Amino acid sequence: MSLPRRQFAQTLLAAAATTGLNATADAAATAAPPALLRARRLHPGDTLGLVSPANASFEREPVAIAIESLQALGFKVKTGVHLRARYGHFAGSDEQRAADINAMFADDEVAGILALTGGSGCNRIVDRLDYGLIARKPKFFGGFSDLTCLVNAIQRQTGLITFHAPFAGSEWNEFSVRQFKAMVMDGEAALLRNPQGERGGQLVQTEDRISTLRGGRARGRLVGGNLAVLSSIAGSAYFPDCRGAILFLEEINEYIYRVDRMLSTLRLCGALGQLAGVVLGKFSKCEPGDGNYGTLTLDEVFDDYLLPLQVPVYRGAMIGHISRKFTVPVGAEVEIDADAGSIQLLAPAVRD
C-alpha cells in the first residue's frame, strides 16, 4: 500500500533528520582533537570567578563559607551575576547559568573559574557555552560531580585542560588544599597516589586502599569524572575523545544495576574499547537495590566490563564524593601504574 503524500514527505524528513544527527555524532567522534591548551597557573591575589552552573543555594551561609574558603586560599572572589538566582532547583535559568560562565571567561580581571556546587543542570547548558571565547581566553575551570559534563565538554571543544576539582563549597581540608595548590598554583607535574601506611589504629590500612584489577602501565590523555553524568552525554559532541585515553570514573548513591547499565552505555558507544587504561575512584554508597536478591557485586561488574579490555586498571583512587580528594587535570597527558595505584603527570597541567 502506498503512503499518503503528506505521510511520505514526513517520513523522508524524519529520515533526513536522523541521518543528519548520525552524521553529526560520527563527525564529532572522528574529528581530530584540538591542540592542547593550558591555563595560566593561579597565584595568591588572583581573582576567582564563582559560578553555580547546577543547583541553587537555598541558604546564605553556604555561599558565605565558600567565598571565605577561597579567600583563605589567597584569592579575591568575584561572584557571578546570577549566583544566587533560582529557577526550580537550578541556580537560575539555563540562559543565566550559561551567561555567568561566558562572562567570567570574557572578564580579563578573572584568572580562573570555580563552581560553587554541583547537583544537576549542566547538561542543559553545555551547548550554550561560547567555546570560541574559551579557546581565545583559556582559564582555570574546575568542579566535579555534575560539572563532569562541562569540564569534559570544554576540554573536548577547545583543548583546554580543565579540572575535576573541589567545589568552592567543598570541605577544604589539609589534604585537598595541598593537592589543589600543587596542581593549579605551584604547577607541579604531580604524582597522584593515595597515602601509604595510614592505619588509623588498625593492624593494616583499611581506608583509601588500592586494588589492582589488571597490572601494568599505560600513557594517554586523562578524561572522565562522574559515571552517571559522563554516560548521559555519550554520543554527543561534548563527550571526551577516548582514543588512547586514560579514563577515570567515580560515583555516589547509585544502585549496582545502574552502574552496570552506565558502563554498558560506555561499552556500546565504543568508548571502553578505545582506552589505554582505567582508574576507578570511589563508588560511595553504590549498593544493591532494595529487594534485589542475588545482584552482581561491584567487583563483578568492574571485572565484566574492564578486564576484557586487556589494559591496566586499578581501583580506589581518591577521586569522587569524598572529603579528601585529588585535583585531577582533564585532558593532561599522564602515565598510570596500576600496580602502584598512581597517576603521574608527564608535564604540568598549567603554564607560568
Catalytic residues, by residue number, are 145, 250, 321
* Nearest residue to 307 (alpha-carbon basis) of 261, 275, 270: 275
The percent helix, strand, coil of the chain (3-state, each to 5) is 35, 20, 45
What phi and psi, each to the nearest 5 degrees, are found at residue 149?
-60, -50
Cell of 92: 537560575
Spatial distance between the Cα atoms of 242 and 320, rounded to a whole number of angstroms = 20
Between CA 112 and CA 321 the distance in angstroms is 23
| Helices marked H in 143-297 | 148-158, 174-180, 227-232, 256-268
For residues 320-349, one letter each, b for 16 or more C-beta atoms within 10 angstroms of the residue's C-beta and e for the rest, the string is bbbebbbbbbbbbbbbbbbebbbbbbeebb
Please give the single-letter amino acid code of residue 209. Answer: R
Q: Which amino acid is at 307?
A: L
CA-to-CA distance for 243 and 352, rounded, in angstroms? Answer: 29
Q: How many angstroms separate the Cα of 96 from the Cα of each of 29, 102, 169, 330?
A: 30, 10, 20, 26
- Among candidates 78, 32, 76, 69, which has minimal Cα distance to 241? 32
